[in-house]
């Protein structure tokens, strides 16, 4: 069994200040063996985290990823070969992601305050590999509950993400995966539904810190 957090930011996202070394050490302390680096609209940051993992936590599996803004909400792409431009049509972004071998996760689907794709997901189900059933930054419980309902209705597997922008958020949500510690095996395990999601909300404070970080106050 592996513990995985598939939604993590670093200081390469303008609204985050997480240092790669600090992240790796936190993963080791919390027993999280898999993380995905999903900075906003950029693939930058992955290499630094991977380098820190090789030095401080060799067993840690680090996925290259991106949280990409489309015209109808955000998507997470794991293992993209190259970055895609933001604000594409949702279907176009998903199609291009799959063409380059990416693994598509729809995060915080029904969170109306945080660029959730909402019902537009129904138009791109054929491209979706997993739904983020729980996001720690989602403040209203019913939004996460609707994510779970969607996944069950569509027969899609679920993952969870802390959506950490600050180190104290990291690991508040994670996915338990019945898999060997290998990237391809992990993704296949998710597709086959061998996952269980666990999470707790991170509360309002991280949102306030994000607001201040964006305005360079902290």
pLDDT digits (tens, 9 = 90+) for 15-55: 999 999 999 999 999 999 999 999 999 999 999 999 999 99
- For the stretch 89-124, pLDDT in tens is 999 999 999 999 999 999 999 999 999 999 999 999
Q: What is the mean pLDDT of residues 186-207?
A: 96
Buried b (16+ CB within 10 A) or exposed e, 149-179: ebbeeeebbbbbbbbbbbeebbbbbbbebeb
Domain count, the chain: 1
Tokens standing for 214? 């964006």
The pLDDT assigned to 169 comes to 97
Q: How far apart are CA 62 and CA 150, in angstroms?
A: 28
- 13: buried, middle or exposed (CB in 10 Å: 19+, 13-18, 0-12)? buried
The pLDDT assigned to 173 comes to 98
Query: Domain range for residue 194?
Result: 2-214
Q: In the sheet that 34-37 helps form, which strands lie side by side, from edge to edge?
A: 158-161, 130-135, 103-106, 73-78, 61-70, 34-37, 2-8, 173-177, 195-199
pLDDT above 70 as % of the chain: 100
Q: At residue 194, does pLDDT exceed 90?
A: yes
The pLDDT assigned to 216 comes to 84
Q: How far apart are CA 207 and CA 100, in angstroms?
A: 33
CATH of the domain at 200: 3.20.20.140
Q: Is 180 helix (H, G, I), strand (E, B) or coil?
A: coil
184 Cβ contact partners less than 8 Å away, ≥ 6 residues apart: none
């Amino acid at each position: 069994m592996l513990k995985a957090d598939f939604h993590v930011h670093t200081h390469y996202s303008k609204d985050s200040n997480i240092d790669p070394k600090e992240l790796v050490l936190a993963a080791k302390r919390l027993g999280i063996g898999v993380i995905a680096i999903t900075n906003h609209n950029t693939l930058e940051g992955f290499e630094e985290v991977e380098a820190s993992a090789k030095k401080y936590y060799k067993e840690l599996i680090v996925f290259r990823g991106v949280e990409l803004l489309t015209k109808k909400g955000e998507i997470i792409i794991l293992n993209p070969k190259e970055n895609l431009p933001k604000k594409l049509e949702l279907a176009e972004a998903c199609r291009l992601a799959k063409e380059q071998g990416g693994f598509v996760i729809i995060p915080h689907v029904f969170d109306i305050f945080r660029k959730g794709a909402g019902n537009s997901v129904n138009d791109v189900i054929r491209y979706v590999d997993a739904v983020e059933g729980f996001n720690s930054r989602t403040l209203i419980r019913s939004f996460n509950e609707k994510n779970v309902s969607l996944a069950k209705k569509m027969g899609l597997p679920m993952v969870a993400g802390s959506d950490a922008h600050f180190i104290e958020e990291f690991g508040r949500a994670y996915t338990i995966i019945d898999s060997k510690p290998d990237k391809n095996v992990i993704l296949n395990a998710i597709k086959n539904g061998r996952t269980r999601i666990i999470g707790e909300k991170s509360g309002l404070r991280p949102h306030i810190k994000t607001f201040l970080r964006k305005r360079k106050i902290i």
